[in-house]
């Protein structure tokens, strides 16, 4: 039997503000005294990672909150080493809560003599003694099949639906959801169905890797408020170009809703100078100072979603119930959605 009748949360250094918010929401929603375990995750001078847990975890149901965002390798090693520390301390079950699953873009061999790194990472996670993975908007849903343990893949679209209905409530008849490529149609269609809007596609064709030859819009966007939906925004080049093409095709406004704001290199500058009115991201990746200061970037919280998913996992109840907008409404009641768009 667990020593304490509550889930036990521990965090690495990848996104401690999110981990603290998840613990706060879990405590508030359950009425239990839930906080982050007292521990230290440090590096030696040669950058080796060292973990020490100061509390007894024998027989406990453990949740490690650790996205594997930049620096991906350091954060991944932190996750694995924390898991090893818990396993060797006789934790009953270890769940990796990975709001952002790094290496997910390497889910297949795109050419000869290349790795499938997402599968390698899955193997490492299982071998470290982790029993379950909880993540959000995997770049490719088939990555769940790389694991021989349960994987719960949450979706940001119900949260985005709440945000869109809050900001565009009196203009919802003008909203059209945009998929930035053919591969993202399923994700865009899901959000469009949730809010009852139309769907269009930006079809891009590359002349060579990393260089877009042309973009075409499939569907009518004339006079519409276009909302581009995707899972990852890295350098924002394609996103900003898609926004320009939509405006050229008569769109009244362009906004973007992206789950994971990687936002590397010139991304923030590109977004600030683009024709997009706003980019909305979740806090699955800890925001850098330029992201926090950007006028056009707004962050919506994922802590209410993850905290309830952790409680449901601990209680053995349905996690898929959180895919429903109506289920999330009470969890996000009173959330600060930012300024009116």
Q: How far apart, in Å, do the first and last CA atoms of the chain sit? A: 50
- Residue 227: left if φ>0, alpha if ψ -120 to 50, beta else—which one? beta
State how far Cα 174 lies from the chain centre: 27
* Cα–Cα dist 120/276, whole Å: 37
Q: How many CB atoms lie within 10 A of CB 169?
A: 8
State how far Cα 143 lies from the chain centre: 15
The CA-CA-CA angle for residues 257, 252, 236, to 5°, reads 35
Q: What is the CA radius of gyration of the chain?
A: 20
Three-state SS at 109 = coil
Write the CA distances from 217 to 40, 232, 244, 246, integer angstroms. 51, 20, 11, 7
- How many angstroms separate the most distant Cα atoms in the chain? 63
* Cα–Cα dist 104/340, whole Å: 33
Three-state SS at 68 = coil
Is 204 known to be catalytic?
yes
* Cα–Cα dist 305/242, whole Å: 30
Runs of H (alpha helix) within the chain = 16-30, 72-88, 117-127, 157-167, 185-195, 237-248, 267-272, 289-293, 303-315, 325-331
136's enclosing H/E stretch is strand 132-136
Catalytic residue among 6, 47, 174, 204: 204
The residues assigned a catalytic role are 204
């Amino acid at each position: 039997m667990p020593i304490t009748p509550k889930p036990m949360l521990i965090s690495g250094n990848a996104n401690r503000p999110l981990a603290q918010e998840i613990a706060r929401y879990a405590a508030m929603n359950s009425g239990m005294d839930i906080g982050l375990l007292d521990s230290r995750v440090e590096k030696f001078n040669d950058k080796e990672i060292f973990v020490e847990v100061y509390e007894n975890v024998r027989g406990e149901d453990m949740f490690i909150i650790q996205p594997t965002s930049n620096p991906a390798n350091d954060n991944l090693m932190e996750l694995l080493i924390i898991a090893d520390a818990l396993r060797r301390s006789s934790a009953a079950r270890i769940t990796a809560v990975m709001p952002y699953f790094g290496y997910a873009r390497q889910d297949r061999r795109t050419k000869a003599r290349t790795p499938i790194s997402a599968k390698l990472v899955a193997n490492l996670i299982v071998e470290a003694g982790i029993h379950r993975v909880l993540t959000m908007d995997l770049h490719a849903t088939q990555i769940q099949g790389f694991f021989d343990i349960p994987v719960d893949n949450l979706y940001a679209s119900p949260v985005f639906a709440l945000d869109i209905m809050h900001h565009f409530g009196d203009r919802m008849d003008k909203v059209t959801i945009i998929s930035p490529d053919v591969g993202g149609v399923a994700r865009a269609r899901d959000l469009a169905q949730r809010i009852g809007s139309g769907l269009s596609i930006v079809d891009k064709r590359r002349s060579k890797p990393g260089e877009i030859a042309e973009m075409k819009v499939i569907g009518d966007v004339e006079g519409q408020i276009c909302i581009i939906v995707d899972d990852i925004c890295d350098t924002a080049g394609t996103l900003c170009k898609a926004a320009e093409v939509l405006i050229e095709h008569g769109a009244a406004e362009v906004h973007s809703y992206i789950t994971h704001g990687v936002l590397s290199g010139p991304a923030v500058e590109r977004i600030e100078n683009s024709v997009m009115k706003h980019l909305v991201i979740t806090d699955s990746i800890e925001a850098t100072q330029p992201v926090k200061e950007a006028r056009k970037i707004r962050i919506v919280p994922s802590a209410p979603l993850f905290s309830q998913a952790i409680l449901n996992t601990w209680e053995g109840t349905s996690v898929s119930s959180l895919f429903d907008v109506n289920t999330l409404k009470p969890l996000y009641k009173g959330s600060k959605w930012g300024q009116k768009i």
